[in-house]
Amino acid sequence: MRHLDKKSRMIFEKELQTRSESKCELCESTSDLSVFEVQPKRNENPDDYAYLCGSCVEQIAHPDKVNANHWRCLNNSMWSAVPAVQVLAWRMLKQLKGEGWTDELLEMLFLDEETQEWANAGMASDVVHNDANGAILQAGDTVVLTQDLKVKGTSFVAKRGTAVRRISLVADNAEHIEGKVEGQRIVILTKFVRKK
Ligand SMILES: [Zn+2]
């Protein structure tokens, strides 16, 4: 929502609350709701935004945290009339492809041409993350640090050889991944890691 000024943001939020009856438009949860901008950004139109709970937002942002069972909610929400919600549903079903039930739902979900293009645009990522040796990194991989790294904003140094499990990729930056070191989630440069 950072692109909107304060007034439009309030109007937006109100519209989305009414539309969603103050429930997450994907899973119907009522906790921690916020306006979610579906990427890539199209218009500043309520149809291009969804009203989502914290859990859905978190899982959309971090593919390694996706809990397939949570997304059984798509059984209902994929029939939403809101393009932004259709796009999110379609992408999540694609991401969970191979779960059986997700394939069945995906077969039933038809998006109009424009909406489908939008959905595809968010999936087709030409950002490739390579490790120090040029190997392609994927979300969920384990990597090893190839040198000592000072963790920004702390006095903590992550030692060379430390394994970082279940990394996630920073979608818009090929040089950045995220992972947990000593319980802390940090951004790591891909040139300082080696895929395990
Ligand atoms: Zn939700």
Interval between CA 28 and ligand 1 midpoint (Å): 6
Interval between CA 153 and ligand 1 midpoint (Å): 32
pTM for this prediction: 0.64
Nearest to 63 by CA among 138, 118, 120: 138
CA distances from 32 to 16, 35, 118, 131 (A): 14, 10, 26, 36
pLDDT computed for residue 126 by the predictor: 61
Interval between CA 166 and ligand 1 midpoint (Å): 23
Mean pLDDT score of the chain, rounded to an integer?
90
Q: For the chain, percent helix, then strand, then coil, each to nearest 5? A: 40, 20, 45
Interval between CA 183 and ligand 1 midpoint (Å): 26
User: Nearest 5°: phi and psi at 167?
Assistant: -70, 160
Structure confidence by residue, pLDDT tens digits, 161-181: 999 999 988 877 889 999 998
CA distances from 181 to 147, 160, 171, 177, 188 (A): 14, 12, 20, 12, 10
Q: What is the mean pLDDT of residues 1-16?
A: 78
Interval between CA 58 and ligand 1 midpoint (Å): 9
pLDDT computed for residue 12 by the predictor: 85
- Residue 16 class from Cβ within 10 Å (0-12 exposed, 13-18 middle, 19+ buried)? buried
Structure confidence by residue, pLDDT tens digits, 73-111: 999 999 999 999 999 999 999 999 888 999 999 999 999
